[in-house]
Amino acid sequence: MPPSSNSVRTPPVPPGETATLEQWLAYLESIHPAEIELGLDRVLLVFRRLFPRKPNARIITVAGTNGKGSTVAALEALLMQAGRRTGAYTSPHLHRYNERVRIAGVDIADDALIRAFNAVEQARRNVSLTYFEFGTLASFVAFAEAGVEDWVLEVGLGGRLDAVNVLDADFAIITSIDIDHVAFLGDDREVIGFEKAGILRPGIRAVFADDTPPRSVLQQVHAQRVTLTRLGEDYTIRHSPSSGVGEVELVFQGETIRMPAGPLPVKSMAAAVVAVRTLEPALPVSVVEHTLAGLSLPGRFETISSSPRVIVDVGHNPHAASWLASQLDRLREPGGKIFAVFAALGDKDVEGVVRALESDVDEWYIAPLDVPRGLGVEALAQRLEAVGLAPVHRCQSVEDALAQAEQAAAESDLIVATGSFYTVGQARTALKKGAS
């Protein structure tokens, strides 16, 4: 006999400390009806049970539409060079959940993550938390357990109502403001800027990493008496005769600091440098320059193989795609072609991404994403064709799309796999498997 339609669903059983990380992650996915539910009431209640007082640490919060992960990576590396014990929290991950929580530059171990999950479970009692909220609180528990001095926290979505914002920032960075997550944040830069500026706190210092802050951000800065350091006013990025090939110069407080022009976004690196020069002014410029010269981040304009060169990049909105297009144009060899391996989520501005890349991409190899919110290959093709992009090569998977693009490409051509974190994760797995 089938169960009654009005039967109450039996709550999932907490896995416990002896469970595997995979069992815990499956549990996190099962305990809340929505993948995303913005708001701080529920998460704040559990946070206060875990932390009756503010953690004894310096809290650095990073918000923005794009460039957050690169800013966090640069901050983390520079603060470690200054002798600080760091914790970095980012999302999403490419391959393993552990990538989201780094302590002293190293992905957290399974056992430490499970202990943190168990602590959150004990504290939440009957409070329902999303997957992201649960993981955010677990990262805080892990940082406290490890005695982390600097908590470098990437906002997941927005700022004001994101789970990360239950912690009061001591220093804040806003990387950029553009259109993304329209269903949650709106389609206006001023509205989105207000949400991002929600990470600011009265009297703190902050950096705005782009040269066109929305009025809503500046209004919040003024209202809360935040000391804001702005690109174009308080520091500049320039090319000059003294810059080497592939270098730019950051000028801040009378100092000139050389930075690489890639693979990470220059504005993200500059914001991190400005933050660290403010927080740790004794760190020598030579150490800053050396640290940045060796900095990279998986999935951020990352070269995986050569002949032909294959690059992966997690850009998934028009703003990020425009930056990616500028990098591809710089690398194109005379007479060479650029092939795009592309797969995307259905709730993203796929058309805007394609428009940003179409003048640089010669051939498109599209693939389905068999994940929640992922687009099938026919639905993706329809959206590309709706903006006049035809024909496209329909492929069975990201791995298949890569194989077809590599077969079609000459040694002087370039292949880029992009469109989402899922696309890049699958591409990196396929490329590394092929290289083994």
Is the per-residue pLDDT at 40 higher than 70? yes
Please count the other Cβ atoms lying within 10 Å of the Cβ belonging to residue 295: 19
Please count the other Cβ atoms lying within 10 Å of the Cβ belonging to residue 93: 16
Report d(CA 348, CA 340) in Å as an integer: 18
Is the per-residue pLDDT at 190 higher than 60? yes
Written as six digits, the tokens of 117 are 């999950």
In the chain, which segments carry CATH 3.90.190.20? 302-435
Report d(CA 225, CA 278) in Å as an integer: 17
Helix axes 285-293, 68-81, angle to 10 degrees: 130
Report d(CA 74, CA 269) in Å as an integer: 6
In the chain, which segments carry CATH 3.40.1190.10? 21-293
What is residue 1's predicted lDDT score, i.e. its pLDDT? 38
Mean local confidence (pLDDT), 37-48:
90
| Cβ–Cβ < 8 Å for 408, 414 | no
Query: Quick check: helix, strand or coil at residue 176?
Result: coil
* Category of 182 on φ-ψ map: left (φ > 0), alpha (ψ -120 to 50) or beta: alpha
Query: Quick check: helix, strand or coil at residue 63?
Result: strand
Span of 123-127, 390-394, 413-417, 431-435 with lowest mean pLDDT = 431-435
What is residue 3's predicted lDDT score, i.e. its pLDDT? 43
Written as six digits, the tokens of 76 are 């983390």
Q: Under CATH, to which class is 302-435 assigned?
A: alpha beta
What is residue 178's predicted lDDT score, i.e. its pLDDT? 82
Place of tokens 């058309």: 351
For residues 10 and 125, the model is more confident at 125
For residues 395 and 10, the model is more confident at 395
CATH topology of domain 21-293: UDP-N-acetylmuramoyl-L-alanine:D-glutamate ligase (3.40.1190)
